[in-house]
Chain A
Amino acid sequence: MSVQPTPGPPPGGTPPAETPSETPAETPSEAPGGSPGPAGGRTATLRPARPRWRETLRLLAGNPTAAVAAVLLLLIVLVAVFDEPLAPQGANEIDVAGRLQPPGLEHPFGTDDLGRDVLSRIILGASVSLRVGFLAVLIALVVGSTIGLLAGFYGRWVDDVLMRVMDMLFAFPAVLLAIAVLAVRGPGSGNTALAIAVVYVPIFARVTRASVLGVREEVYVRASRSVGAGDLRLLTRHVLPNAAPPIIVQTSISLAFAVLAEAALSFLGLGTQPPNPSWGLMLAEGRGYIELAWWIAFFPGMAIFLTVLCFNLLGDGLRDVLDPRQRTLMGGGGR
């Protein structure tokens, strides 16, 4: 399951059933003569609304769950960055005499079958797991968003060709696609990031395309076009900033799944290779000792779980803040 992308955009297959709750007759009314008619209750902004970071942060701070998640994530990232000084022992300090020691004062999370300190390996593994996750999402974000931007902005055959290719990638089960990439490229951290990125490219492409389509026709784009602004300028100055919120939300959620996927692939022996400490790999190593020494597998799993949870909670918080449709939902029958 780990790499299942579902909580992002619904992978509803193909367009016709993608938004089933929409009444077909609901065509946005385009006001004639270029007057900015409110289409579908959505007021056209005359200036590009830049993502308001300050406002976003303030609202996010008002959401305790997301705020706690953000702080925890910051801590996890700090641990990953300053891993060496923080770890009580080296990742591969073998101590055969002190093997399989239960959690205690000397080894808070116990030791593994080679007597390595589990806590130290978790701390040192953080950077491996996070680095692969961030790299994968970065690749997927850049490649996928570019594809989505081009498809959404140019439409017509560009859209058709690009999105059909994305559909093909989407037709592969996520884990299998990643496994296939690793089967070709061979195991290892870099290839793992690449494999996960391949899975997420079509998702970013879809999300970006959808939000670009939403802003493409807005007044200011048409206005800028009429004064002769070039495509590149339009894209970077107007379309991208306005299409950004869903992409930001998708990034946070994708990070969660990238960390999970890295762990899963390493667990399967295809990702990070021993003796490097990766959380998924540690779980795989501890699995054989589960009845003898539960802590070897338990604590790395906990680390994965907490990290993924924080990314997801942050993503949900960001969605509440950045996606106004969710916020208006609570108004209900108020009017």
Chain B
Amino acid sequence: MTAPLLEVDDLCVRLRTPRGPAAVVNGLSYTVGEGETVAVVGESGSGKSVSVLALLGLLPTRSATVTGRALLRGEDLLTLPDDRLRRIRGAGVGMVFQDPMTSLNPVLTVGRQLVEGIRAHADVPRPAARDRAAELLGEVGLPDPRRALDRYPHELSGGMRQRVMIAIALSNSPSLLIADEATTALDVTVQAQILELVERLQRDHGTGVVWITHDLGVVAGIADRVLVMYGGRCVEDGTADDVLERPAHPYTRGLLGALPDLALDRDDGELATVPGTPPPPTDLPEGCVFWPRCPVRGDPRCETEQPPLAPVLRGGHGHDRREPPHRAATWCGEDEAPARGSGAAAAGRAP
């Protein structure tokens, strides 16, 4: 097995906030292979966005402390000098953010924002960069890309703006694309188009993708592997099939149980989830981070000891060696309660 594209090892992020120090990410480890899509799932506040912003040094340096390792093709992003890291941003790793309304500069044209990204990494004359920009806009499906170059973001629809964001992220053919809630602000049909677009581009360019979302419908549609985050930790990871069909962590089960059946009208958009709210990162509970909300707690260690991320034992099913293991961090996994709602979640479908 070749070295993975991205290897994150024991990533920790501490933020100084007005309410005291916050442990936002606590020992997160995962890998992303070339051309692979890893979905990072969790409620808002679970630390998923911070964990990727930290990789690229996009957190405010004054208030954030980042430790651990994050190897991109063997190079540790967390120890790189600023200048070197800048060259990786945009060129090695492209990012798409949640809100295409605010993520583009409102007072610069789309063309300008693409061209400056291209020219930051490649020494090309402006006209050539413009040609490339138009080509990219065409590739992400903007009608009349030449004219779109001279448009301002507010003249485009939300979906078009997100396509522009994707074009910007892909403009220097990065080996890794990070999408941070990239479809959350879009309506459902546009979401599907964007997902399709990313899948196609990924196939064409062999890009690895980290897809951050709280929307399990999206996960089912695109992910090869899934990582569930809670309280700044990975509480479960494994292949999309494993995690979605045979969830082992009570939190994942809760999320899946709450997943509205796609046949039903998804009028509320949000997943209605587990009762309660995630703990504030300034005040994480002792023991298992999930226990205060856990419906099946009962193990004496729940309130005192953080369960390690351990392989899920599956009676009957032989484990395929080529697949990465299915792991979960819970004390209750050992008695293997049947996953609630797993049947409904199983029918892996594109949204």
B154 close to A334 (CB less than 8 A): no
Interface flag for A23 (CB, 8 Å): yes
Interface flag for B189 (CB, 8 Å): no
User: Which one, A23, A24, A25, A332, contacts B60 given CB within 8 A?
Assistant: A332
Give the interface SS of chain A, mostly helix, strand, loop or mixed.
Answer: loop
Chain B residues with CB below 8 A from A333, complex form: 53, 58-60
Chain B residues with CB below 8 A from A331, complex form: 17
Expressed in whole angstroms, the minimum distance between the Cβ of A95 and any Cβ of chain B is: 57
Expressed in whole angstroms, the minimum distance between the Cβ of B298 and any Cβ of chain A is: 33
Chain A residues with CB below 8 A from B58, complex form: 333
A23 close to B18 (CB less than 8 A): no
Question: How distant is the Cα of A335 from the Cα of B44 in the complex, in angstroms?
Answer: 9
B53 close to A23 (CB less than 8 A): no
Give the interface SS of chain B, mostly helix, strand, loop or mixed.
Answer: loop
Contact A335-B106, Cβ < 8 Å, known A23-B101, A330-B18? no
Interface flag for B2 (CB, 8 Å): no
B106 close to A327 (CB less than 8 A): no
Contact A334-B63, Cβ < 8 Å, known A23-B101, A24-B154, A25-B101? yes
B49 close to A23 (CB less than 8 A): no
B17 close to A23 (CB less than 8 A): no
Question: How distant is the Cα of A25 from the Cα of B154 in the complex, in angstroms?
Answer: 8
Expressed in whole angstroms, the minimum distance between the Cβ of B61 and any Cβ of chain A is: 10
Expressed in whole angstroms, the minimum distance between the Cβ of B208 and any Cβ of chain A is: 24
Chain B residues with CB below 8 A from A332, complex form: 60, 63
Interface flag for B15 (CB, 8 Å): yes
A23 close to B154 (CB less than 8 A): yes
Expressed in whole angstroms, the minimum distance between the Cβ of A151 and any Cβ of chain B is: 30
Interface flag for B12 (CB, 8 Å): no
Query: A213-253 toward B: CB 8 Å interface, digit per residue (1/0)?
Result: 00000000000000000000000000000000000000000
User: Which one, A24, A25, A327, A335, contacts B18 given CB within 8 A?
Assistant: A327
Chain B residues with CB below 8 A from A23, complex form: 101-102, 106, 154
Can you identify 22 A-B contacts, CB atoms within 8 angstroms?
A23-B101, A23-B102, A23-B106, A23-B154, A24-B154, A25-B101, A25-B154, A26-B101, A327-B18, A330-B18, A331-B17, A333-B59, A333-B60, A334-B15, A334-B17, A334-B50, A334-B59, A334-B60, A334-B63, A335-B45, A335-B49, A335-B50
Q: Which residues of A contact B (CB under 8 A)?
A: 23-26, 327, 330-335
Q: When A and B form their complex, which 4 residue pairs have the shortest distance between CB atoms, in order from nearest?
A: A332-B60, A333-B60, A334-B15, A335-B49
Given A327-B18, A334-B15, 9 extra CB contacts under 8 A: A23-B102, A26-B101, A330-B18, A331-B17, A333-B53, A333-B58, A333-B60, A335-B44, A335-B45
